[in-house]
Structure 1
């Protein structure tokens, strides 16, 4: 046998042994396969909370990370927990493992399990804080989807609890793990285009008032539990908020959960894409863990776009980063010695020699909302046939699992997720108040601005018995 091959651990064998044989071997410090020692602690056992289409995509990403086991899933829609169970058990069988996935409606029951090391939280934004905090208090490490929180106070408390409990928390802003964005950040911070004065970060519109008609709640959905802490009498069930699926025949969701587009249930594109683009922009200009000092909404004080002013002099505006492509989400850094443009799969610089060939990619397409919808439908059809994927981000998951093992900070830690989520909240607050808002990013204070202190996106009273 080739000696090189004999010293390589086959991933299928690793997962098979860790799942089937680890329980009887945990008293041993290690065991050997093909001459390679494998520590029992290399196994990371996971539970998933929130099993919509993003949760399913995240499972596919985590399933590509060696040493990961998935043993439980939780959702308020019983059809989605059953879909998850079938999908995970099929994966387990493909690895030669005995299929076993437990289903839950109440996430607290999943967190009580002592055999779960880490959880993935992929619920609507208004659930992120409670579930992350409870997971940390239960001794679990957490991968929580972006944006980190629904309000500013939630973000602050999530940071405090994560640090107090010494848990690893990775925020799902997966662009942090993408080569084109990492290169853009490195170029800006190295001074490759000189001093940065402006950043154009195109993300999209803020949320609109909820205008969906009320409809009957299907029997497979616990909508009261979906609501959780939300405390607004205008919220009612509509299938766009909780996109339905079919098991037989298998049909995925036909749209993203529309809760994100409405003020009562989400923070619009400002947070949905701001958690990506504002996040990268702040990383590049040295504002990770900090934030803007003044936020000016579009149409106020001469601002043509939502504007964020930072204490280091940088001004970030929510405007097209490509003049001929106003609908494309991405970032442009403007320095006194050139510019850098970056989006998913695309990186360009006024000094073209600074961009490696493998990162140039294709210029983004200028898609209208209708074209985006059609593109998504085509991707859904491809997935239904067993091919294609949507927003799969294994490098980001791999970083999280590595940090669970090493206890080092991940690439998108809770502090960074908090500063980004707060920036998104501030943008929506200024837009709704229709005036400039001053914010002290060091003390997290609005000073004497009582209207800002009392805004629902700073904090709101949870419904019923729910407490933060």
Structure 2
């Protein structure tokens, strides 16, 4: 990873790869040490052939960005809608000298392609793990959008598939590829913050009520049953198909999974990737937009207990005065009190404020005096670069699925604790099951209770 040119003020420098950085700071994780030996490395100049599965907004952005690289070609597209396939093919061709990707509607046919190295999975969340597992089984590497799993069981099975089939699986949590975040981790490891016993994660965003309304007709030739995939059967509704799926548990973990996972994963990185919590407690629900059609909470407060440390998450979907960190090319810090997507670390010596997606960080002593700081930029290009380099080197990527299974677990466990009526749930990281009082209803939410032809099997 290249060092930033001039964005560092005081104290810290970044100029090493992630692997050298981890070795130098003693922060190497079990995941990075235990990544299985896989196929022989490829030449750095080789062209990587990618397919996009899911030609929506985020998928098209990713594919276009990858296609801008000289060592990448988008060779295939897969989507259930003909109109999306046609539009994506035209757009991506403009980024790769007019080369038009092949257009397919069935992922099984796509994964049989021999002229394909890896896939981008950018479908709705409920298909992330099943498609990624299928790709691993077909011998393809995977870049999967966050969250990589709809539930704990599917996340564990994807990790199992990646190991079994010796595949690179990079999750789209870009913050692990940002130099300023690695510099923050180095600052923490140096001891300047002191002992950290409290971390606060925020995802306090604006939003509005959600109404399904009347459904528009189902598009001609559209396979609704396949779109539902592993989710329970229900009638077609255009409101669910067109982004409304974010609001329903069958397809999503709500905004905690859709957006809050970025801050949660970054906090895990900064805290040394502490793994699974000892317990979780939560409260919340649909408190502000009462009576609308959404199932997922608009308000959540979650508390995780780790050895010697408490981590809290606060999430809302209504305060318009809170602002996300936007992608910008400037050295400017957010106004921290109104930053919707910040993390606060409370050390015994100093406090740190850090923002995702290029927000930068500042460390404070008494009286609000800044002791160290670093600006940042959105790390999307670096994260994509890391994935391509990992395909060629066969080294674990920055957001390897093993690390992300643990951090994404906080999303799943936090949502479960919000949904069940119990004050505190103990969790066993070895069995990945809740234990003790209240565990029965909670354990039922660790995996889907319905089964169909698209369900994830333990035999991956």
Q: TM-score range by the shorter chain?
A: 0.7 to 0.9
- 2:154 aligns to what SS in structure 1? helix
Alignment map for 1:105-120 (pairs within 5 Å): 105-120=105-120
Contact 1:208–1:261 (CA<8 Å) still a contact in 2? no
Q: Does residue 68 of the first structure (1) align with residue 72 of the second (2)?
A: yes
Q: Does residue 280 of the first structure (1) align with residue 270 of the second (2)?
A: no
Q: Does residue 140 of the first structure (1) align with residue 140 of the second (2)?
A: yes
Q: Paired residue for 2:443?
A: 453
Deviations 1:103-134 (A, max 9, x none): 01111111000110111100111111111111
TM-score normalised according to structure 1 size: 0.74
Deviation at 1:191, TM superposition (A): 2.0
Deviations 1:55-96 (A, max 9, x none): 0110122123331111110011211111111012222226xx
Contact 2:52–2:76 (CA<8 Å) still a contact in 1? yes
- 2:434 aligns to what SS in structure 1? coil
- 1:305 aligns to what SS in structure 2? strand
Contact 2:50–2:76 (CA<8 Å) still a contact in 1? yes
**1:295 pairs with 259, 263, 280, which one?**
280
Q: What is the count of residue pairs matched by the alignment?
A: 377
Q: Does residue 338 of the first structure (1) align with residue 350 of the second (2)?
A: yes
Q: Paired residue for 1:381?
A: none
Deviation at 1:319, TM superposition (A): 6.3
Contact 1:144–1:171 (CA<8 Å) still a contact in 2? yes
Larger CA Rg, structure 1 vs 2: 1
Deviation at 1:135, TM superposition (A): 0.4
Contact 2:64–2:92 (CA<8 Å) still a contact in 1? no
Q: Paired residue for 1:165?
A: 165
Q: Paired residue for 2:364?
A: 350
Deviations 1:413-432 (A, max 9, x none): 01122112211010010001
Deviation at 1:309, TM superposition (A): 1.3
TM-score normalised according to structure 2 size: 0.75
Contact 1:209–1:262 (CA<8 Å) still a contact in 2? no
- Shift in alpha-carbon separation, 1:333–1:465, aligned structure 2, 3 A: closer
Q: Paired residue for 2:200?
A: 200
Contact 2:225–2:233 (CA<8 Å) still a contact in 1? no
Higher share of residues assigned strand: 2
- Shift in alpha-carbon separation, 1:211–1:438, aligned structure 2, 3 A: farther
Q: Paired residue for 2:28?
A: none
- 2:96 aligns to what SS in structure 1? helix
Distance 1:419 1:231 in 2: 26
Alignment map for 1:243-258 (pairs within 5 Å): 243=242, 257-258=243-244
Contact 1:298–1:305 (CA<8 Å) still a contact in 2? yes
Alignment map for 1:28-47 (pairs within 5 Å): 39=43, 42-47=46-51
Alignment map for 1:83-98 (pairs within 5 Å): 83-93=87-97
Higher share of residues assigned helix: 1
- Shift in alpha-carbon separation, 1:441–1:350, aligned structure 2, 3 A: same
Deviation at 1:402, TM superposition (A): 0.1
Distance 1:210 1:403 in 2: 41
Deviation at 1:219, TM superposition (A): 2.2
- 1:355 aligns to what SS in structure 2? strand
Q: Paired residue for 2:190?
A: 190
- 1:354 aligns to what SS in structure 2? strand
